[in-house]
Amino acid sequence: MKLSRNFISANSAMCELTAWVAAPYLRKNITLEKTPIKAEFSVCGLGFYRFWLDGKELTRGHMSPYISASDDVMDYDVYDLTEKLASGKLALGFQLGNGMQNAFGGYVWDFEQAAWRSAPKLAVCLTLTYDDGTTEEYEADESFVWAPSPVIFDDIRQGECYDANLEIPGWNLPDFDDSAWEHAHKTECPRGKSVVCAANPIREWTRLSPVSIKPQTRLTYAHCEQVDEGYLYDFGTNYAGIPLLRIKGEKGQKISMIFGEHIDENGDFKVDNIRFVRPEYYNLPLYIQRDEYTCKGDGVEEWSPAFTYHGFRYCLVTGITEEQAKEGLLTYIVMNTELAERGSFSCSDETLNRLQSMIRVSTLANFYHFPTDCPHREKNGWTADAALSTEHTLLNLEPENNYYEWMRHIRASMQDDGRIPGIVPTGGWGFAWGNGPAWDNILITLPYYVYRYRGDKKIVEESLTSLLRYVNYLTTRVDDRHLIAIGLGDWCAPYGPRSPLIFTDSVISMDICEKTAYLHEVCGKTAQAKFCREVADKFRAAVREHLIDWSNMTAIGEGTPTPGCETSQAMAIYYNIFTEEEKPAAYKVLLEKIHEQNDHLDTGVLGARVIFHVLSAFGDADLAYKIIVDPTYPSYGSFVARGETSLPEDFNHADQKVNSLNHHFFGDISAWFIKCICGINYNPDADDLTRADITPHFVTALSDAKAYHVCPHGKIEVDWVRGDNDTVTLNVTYPEGMHGRLVFPAGWVCAACGKTETDAKSGMFVLKRT
């Protein structure tokens, strides 16, 4: 299938915050003398496109084809049109949105300065094959014609404006008279590699009606004098998607919709927590997450934005009458990348169930082609956020196609010296700040965990060169002790990061090198594996020599009232800085650190990723559970207690600044639910895709728990229920052809045989205490 690099555009004018340019329609009529036996069609719309054939929309998904830096990678969608074409006249119709090609609303991250920034552009190739073996090709050229569409403003972050009075009936049909339209212009092809998009598309998966509609008498914005009054629609859950507006309005009536997630203590709708702004834009009308629709006054009108999306629970609608402010006015079309479910968890504790639901909401709301940090304020592919969530996402969902596609873009973003930016895609921002080993970790996390959970070597093989370059890059950034401190650290810790950057960066760098060595071994690259292993060993030795206080087995940290902290101690245990013989003593120190905090977290995202797994490994699943469900700050339970429906960015309490309420990087507790409470440990050593150990922990406060995960060999399912006389009934569904061990928790044995473990297999096991 040919991926044409012949691009056209309507003109060179670019939409700006201060100068709007409408999204163009483009069309071309083609007359076929006979019916082809095969018709393949490839399309690349930069930034986004919609595609119609003879008036019927065939676009693969919302915001197709992808979100990319076009000088790195250009994604193409491919369509099989064989069954849709016949001899005669046909019409190809397109609408182009700005997307990432002109992401002027992302000025906070310098996207308006991207070298590849341009007006939207289009490349297509229609390849026709006939029964006599001949072929024809049609590519984008000056024979295409264009006109402005009713989308008069669009930006992926700021929103979309639509004027229905500018609609052009029949514009995408074969018999439409386009003689007044202008001819398209040839334009420069970006430098990126042309690829067929491997990612699953973004699609609708449910619709929500409002749970309440209330008059909103006041909405003010920091640094902006604008005040809006209208009606506040509450949809109950903080998802991501687009609105569907249905209105019978007057001609010229303008409806404004502002989307957000936060209601303050006075019941007022606020958006400052999802708004970054530069001083030069303070006095502009509020753009972020704002859609506008101008009615044509012709009966009931329906509209949804095409080239943006929003993260929201609430929508403030202005410009409508009290009579129009009804339930049917607005519907929430919840969207995300199409990800099949591969796992889940539930139990007798409603707090854990709520947290599992919140993590699922945030994982999906932040999966638009690739994992983002938040679906409103930034919509950026922050690397650490995705790295921290990779394992729990693979346990619960099916993201591997999108991970594969995003990995292409991550590798392409790498500079010559081996460094990668903190956000992908980027227009150049994120190399000087916002990255470092804990963020760059995504480079190894994606191929490693996709291989571990899916057995896919393709993503591994294509990443080896970049991984080796990155390991070499790390060796150029170490100090004279072979330690490293170059990036961001234990982000979003409730009292500020207590684990020093030199500790977290050095430990994560060691882990990157170890995993890189392993993947090279998997692919038979022994010399490269040896090099990476040696670099990892140097990091471990340096951390042990300089960052561990051996007099009290404490990893360096700024704890109170004594030195050390939860993050450093948990990471030193989890990542094997301590040897197996040293770990029991080190674990006692971790418990001391936890008790100093009254059994609360003082970790940021790096510590939270590992601490609960460490507690369970040492038989303290009850303590892990207690920390998670505690309703007082700082804890996961406090999210539930205050009524959140998605996972917030941080543990901030009521007196602190409200930040994003829809992040996923604290979501690894979902993996802990599945792996520790229910004990599903698939391919635990990443070396055997036919192995799964079942190692549940019967948390005392729970009366039952169940989980499942679909691995490449089938569905693994575990549920356990407490019974009378201090017994637990454990039910296991285990795929044929797999092997592993079924290990009962300490202090429990099989009532029938007295064993503490057995070969993993399907069945019901009644366990009793010893």
What's the rounded mean pLDDT across residues 690-696? 98
Instruction: Classify each residue of 144-158 as buried b or exposed e, where b means 16 or more C-beta atoms within 10 Å of its C-beta.
Output: bbbbbbbbbbbbbbb
Average pLDDT for 729-742? 98
Type of residue numbered 172: N
The predicted model gives 379-402 an average pLDDT of 98
Cα distance between residue 158 and residue 578, in whole Å? 48
State the average pLDDT over residues 170-175.
Answer: 97
Is a pLDDT exceeding 90 seen at residue 545? Answer: yes
Q: Residue 1 pLDDT more than 90? A: no
Q: What is the pLDDT of residue 56?
A: 98
Contact 701, 680 (CB under 8 A): no
Average pLDDT, the chain: 95
Is a pLDDT exceeding 90 seen at residue 226?
no
Q: What angle do CA 218, 219, 224 make, to 5 degrees?
A: 130
| Helices 621-629 + 583-596 axis angle, to 10 | 30
Q: What pLDDT, in 10s, does the model give residues 337-358?
A: 999 999 999 999 999 999 999 9
pLDDT (average), residues 716-722: 98
**What is the spatial distance between Cα 318 and Cα 321, in angstroms, rounded to a whole number?**
9
Does the structure show a pLDDT above 80 at 8?
Answer: yes
The residue-averaged pLDDT of 657-684 equals 96
Give the lowest-confidence range in 206-215, 492-501, 524-533: 492-501
The pLDDT of residue 142 is above 70: yes
Residue 221 has pLDDT above 70, yes or no: no
Task: Calculate ∠ Cα 53-57-61, nearest 5°.
Answer: 125
pLDDT of residue 219: 61
pLDDT at 40: 98
Whole-number Å distance between alpha carbons of 312 and 302: 20
Q: Which long-range contacts (CB under 8 A, 24 or more apart) does 678-685 make?
A: 678/345, 678/705, 678/706, 678/707, 678/718, 678/719, 678/720, 679/718, 679/743, 680/343, 680/395, 680/707, 680/708, 680/709, 680/716, 680/718, 681/740, 682/453, 682/709, 682/711, 682/716, 683/452, 683/453, 683/711
Averaged over 676-700, what is the pLDDT?
97
Segment 101-134, tens digit of pLDDT: 999 999 899 999 999 999 999 999 999 999 999 9
Report, as an integer, the average pLDDT of 67-93: 97
The whole-angstrom separation of Cα 652 and Cα 658 is: 7
The pLDDT assigned to 732 comes to: 98
Over 80: is that where the pLDDT of 462 sits?
Answer: yes
* Distant-in-sequence, close-in-space partners of 515: CB < 8 Å, separation ≥ 6: 444, 448
Map residue 587 onto helix, strand or coil. Answer: helix
Share of the chain above pLDDT 90, in %: 92
What integer is the mean pLDDT of 303-331? Answer: 97
Nearest to 563 by CA among 520, 619, 500, 518: 500
In the predicted model, is pLDDT for residue 283 greater than 60? no
CA angle 547, 551, 553 (to 5 degrees): 60
Helix (H, G, I), strand (E, B) or coil at 509: helix
The DSSP secondary structure of 80-141, one letter per residue, reads: E-GGG--SEEEEEEEEEE-TTTT-GGGGGGTGGG-TT--S-EEEEEEEEE-TTS-EEEEE--
- For the segment 587-596, the average pLDDT, to the nearest whole number, is 97
| pLDDT for the residue numbered 292 | 97
pLDDT value of position 275: 81
pLDDT given at position 680: 98
pLDDT at 228: 66
What is the per-residue pLDDT for 561?
72
* Entry pTM: 0.97
* pLDDT of 276: 74
pLDDT confidence of 271, banded at 50, 70, 90? confident
- What pLDDT, in 10s, does the model give residues 475-504? 999 999 999 999 999 999 998 889 999 999
Question: What is the percentage of the chain residues whose pLDDT exceeds 70?
Answer: 97
Looking at residue 217, its pLDDT comes to 63
Average pLDDT in the 42-69 region? 98
